Amino acid sequence: MELKKACLDAARDLYLRARIWLFDLLSDGDVMGEPNILHPSIFTGPGKVAFGQNVRVGIRHSPYFWSGNNHFDTRRNEAMIEIGNNVAINNNFTAICLANITVGDDTLIGFNVTIMDFDAHGVEPHLRRGNPGKSAAVNIGRNCWIGSNVAILKGVSIGDNSIIGLGSVVTGSIPANVIAAGNPCQVVREIHVI
């Protein structure tokens, strides 16, 4: 039984390393910094993705570890995704950027989180194809906790120390030191910071 487990663990590690290598090979984005990539991650687009120190991308014992991938997409030359120091990003994360997405130091991001700083398509029917819609920077403060299955949309700022609850759709800014949740995401209560 121990030999079977050891062989299975070795096969899993080989499979994961091959997927990480393949996604790295497929990436054409400009990455600055050296994140610890533990889950297949692709970097695309002409902009830049900048990582601070001690950033972890992917978590072994979490959903989507054996499937899915993380996607960092900067769609314009001036687009910039900035990830601060000591940030932990879970599996199946997506950040699509036309302008700027900033994630502050010490922030935790759950699995299956999407951040977009633009509409993706024009609102008017005749503008839906080939038009990315409006864009506005996204700023997530320091020491935030973004729960799993959260969508953060254009123009949102989330204040330091705030928590965004599981499954929330964040369409407006959230102040510091609060718990917020829902669709649309709203403040539920304050957090007392010592």
- The full 3-state SS of 133-191, as one line of letters, equals CCECCEEECCCCEECCCCEECCCCEECCCCEECCCCEECCCECCCEEEEECCEEEEEEC
| CA atoms 59, 164, 80, 132: torsion sign | positive
Instruction: Tell me which residue has tokens 């390393």.
Output: 17
Catalytic residue among 39, 121, 126, 192: 121
Backbone angle region of 54, left / alpha / beta, with phi > 0 → left and psi within -120 to 50 → alpha: left
- Please state, in angstroms and rounded to a whole number, the distance separating the CA atoms of residues 50 and 85: 10
Q: Is there a catalytic annotation at residue 121?
A: yes
Beta bridge partners, 114, equal 94, 151
**Tokens coding 3:** 């030999």
Residue 152 CA from chain centroid, whole number: 10
Cite the active site residues: 121
